[in-house]
Homo-oligomer: A and B are copies of this chain.
Amino acid sequence: MFRKLVSVDDAKRILRQNFTPRPVGKEFVLLSEACNRVLANDIVSPLDIPPFNRSTVDGYAVKAADTFGAEENRPLQLKLAGKVNVGEAPRIKVEKSTAAEIVTGAPIPKGADAVVMMEHTVQKNQTILVNQSVLVGENVMKVGSDMCKGEIVLKKGGIFSPHEIGVLAAIGSAKVEVYRRPRVAIFSTGAEVVEPGRPLKEGKIFDINAHALSAAVAELGGQPVNMGIVQDKTEQMKAAFKKALSTADVVITSGGVSVGPTDIIPRVLDTLGKPGVIVYGIAIRPGKPTTIAIINDKPVFSLPGHPTSALLIFHLFVHSALVRMGGRKEDIPLRVDAVISERLFPSRGRRTYVTVTLKKDKSGRIVASPVPTGLSGAITTLAKADGFTVIHEHQQFIDKGQIVGVELLKPSVYYSLMR
């Protein structure tokens, strides 16, 4: 097999033509597990909220007309009709010239249409002196004023925050149907990688990618299944892919694609299902040795071994598919314009991504400085970077002082720049 580089745009188009990311399924979860999950259906309230007229204060439920004209130095007199407690169906009725003692949250008894606050009354045995008038509806939260029976109170595709969980609780839902989190099988390949925590022999390095990619998958609402390290041998690789494809919705591997003449992964992938490998090499820097396959409608992304390259390709190709498979809307990336601190050259014929740090200079302009190392093998490159800028294939260079668009890696950067 020979690698045939395609442009970033072509690779995206080929992926789109061969795979349409759709929600992988639905499941019910308890309210306590719903935070950050995605609502799979519109939620219609089965009842009015509040379900009855509620008092919003401690005081006396009255007919408002009975209080008209009441003033501090000319109180009106009502007869105590009884008491309404919270959590009880009121058994009393408020007739003309009577009042029922009521506490906050209790149902307004029949006959009453307002509540006089306790501090505007004086109670003497069975008589209430009212020294301020109330309007009809005053201090009453009307039935259905928060939500109406039959109203759509939460929309499909919404993401649960504490407020949405509050809305569900209010209508009495103990569980809710959300989109299933896409299962993503992840493994690293390569004779040189060793699981962190194990002893490191000469010539070996610790595996970064399976861990960083698992975290990246979880961050987007996916469910990572870290399969660890798989050896670059045809049989082991085939077994690993079969296992991954039988249980997961997406498979991500890293490394092994750039080991020159022994490109086992694309060969193995082509034996596992149709259409097989659809992209084999992308004209991008970093990230060229990327393979994308579709096996029986499941996408497989074989990313480069270098961590910065792997995370960049994840961001450009996997992110979008994963988000949609989880039923989420794709978020528009956060960008800022910045002045570039030095001349940037692209890698010939390849779309080039340059990681940068951002700072405001004295005049308040945002300045982007390329992260010094630029090595795609370095994990610290990404940990230090605030974002990246792109040099397109047709550009000769970007000159020092030009304005470039920078896509941010962390939202927190945005806040600190915008203050």
Binding site for B on A (CB under 8 A): 31-32, 34-35, 47, 49-52, 54, 56, 58, 85-90, 103-107, 118, 141, 145-147, 153-154, 160-175, 190-198, 200-216, 218-219, 224, 226, 258-260, 305, 307, 311, 332, 334, 373, 375, 377-383, 409-411, 414-415, 418-419
A202 B89 Cβ-Cβ under 8 A:
yes
CB-contact partner of A382 in B166, B218, B379, under 8 A: B166
Q: Are B50 and A377 in contact (CB under 8 A)?
A: yes
A58 to B216, CA, bound (A): 29
Closest to A380 in B: B146
With contacts A104-B258, A169-B207, A214-B32 taken as known, whether A219 is within 8 angstroms of B410 at the C-beta atoms is no
A411 in complex: contacting residue of B197, B380, B411, CB < 8 Å: B411
Instruction: Determine which of B167, B205, B379 lies in contact with A166 in the assembled complex, contact meaning CB atoms within 8 Å.
Output: B379
Asked if A52 and B260 sit within 8 Å, CB to CB, the answer is no
Pick the contact of A208 from B145, B170, B224 — CB < 8 Å? Answer: B170
8 smallest beta-carbon distances between A and B, as pairs: A174-B197, A87-B191, A166-B212, A87-B192, A89-B202, A162-B215, A146-B378, A169-B211
Q: Can you name 6 extra interface pairs (CB under 8 A) apart from A58-B259, A146-B375, A166-B209? A: A51-B200, A145-B378, A146-B373, A162-B311, A164-B383, A172-B206
The interface residues of chain B lying within 8 Å CB-to-CB of A418 are: 418
Given contacts A35-B218, A205-B51, A418-B418, whether A56 and B174 have CB atoms under 8 Å apart is no
Question: In the complex the two chains form, is B32's CB within 8 Å of A226's CB?
Answer: yes
A190–B378 CB distance below 8 A: no
Whether A169 lies near B212 (C-beta < 8 A) is: yes
- B192 lies within 8 A of A174 (CB): no
Q: Which residues of B contact A381 (CB under 8 A)?
A: 146
User: Given known contacts A85-B191, A169-B211, A196-B173, is B377 in contact with A163 (CB within 8 Å)?
Assistant: no
The minimal Cβ–Cβ distance linking A371 to chain B, given in whole angstroms, is 12
Contact A161 B219 (CB under 8 A): yes
User: Closest approach, in angstroms, between the C-beta of A360 and any C-beta of chain B?
Assistant: 16
A166: chain B residues at CB < 8 Å are 208-209, 211-212, 215, 307, 311, 379, 382-383
Interchain CB contact under 8 A, B141 and A375? yes
Q: Cβ of A169 and Cβ of B206 under 8 Å apart? A: yes
Task: Name 27 A/B residue pairs within 8 A (Cβ), A-sorted.
Answer: A32-B214, A49-B205, A51-B200, A56-B375, A86-B203, A87-B190, A90-B203, A104-B258, A104-B259, A105-B205, A105-B305, A145-B375, A146-B377, A146-B380, A162-B215, A163-B311, A163-B409, A166-B211, A166-B383, A169-B207, A170-B206, A170-B379, A171-B206, A172-B206, A174-B196, A332-B415, A414-B414
Given the known inter-chain contacts A90-B203, A196-B174, A219-B162, please indicate yes or no for A211 contacting B383, CB distance below 8 A.
no
8 Å CB contact of A190 from B86, B162, B224: B86
List residues of chain B with CB within 8 A of the CB of A259.
Answer: 58, 86, 103-104
**B56 in contact with A377 (CB, 8 Å):** yes
| A147 & B211 in contact (Cβ 8 Å cutoff) | no
Q: Which of B213, B373, B383 contacts A145 (CB 8 A)?
A: B373
Complex Cα–Cα for A373 and B142 (A): 11
Once A172-B200, A203-B90, A206-B172 are accepted as A-B contacts, the answer to whether A192 and B153 lie under 8 Å apart by CB is: no
> From residue A36, how far is it (CB to closest CB) to chain B in Å?
8
What CA separation (Å) do A28 and B396 show in the bound complex? 50
Task: Give the chain B neighbours of A218 by CB distance below 8 A.
Answer: 35
With a cutoff of 8 Å between Cβ atoms, the chain B residues found around residue A203 in the complex are 52, 86-90, 106-107
The contact of A167 among B34, B162, B383, by CB within 8 Å, is B383
Partner of A260, one of B103, B147, B173, B202: B103
Contacts of A378 in B (CB 8 A): 141, 145-146
- In whole angstroms, what is the CA distance A87 to B309 when docked? 20
Distance (whole angstroms) from the CB of A146 to the closest CB of chain B:
4
Shortest Cβ distance from residue A106 to the other chain B in the assembled complex, whole angstroms: 7
Closest residue of B by beta carbon distance from A379:
B166
A182 to chain B, nearest CB (A): 17
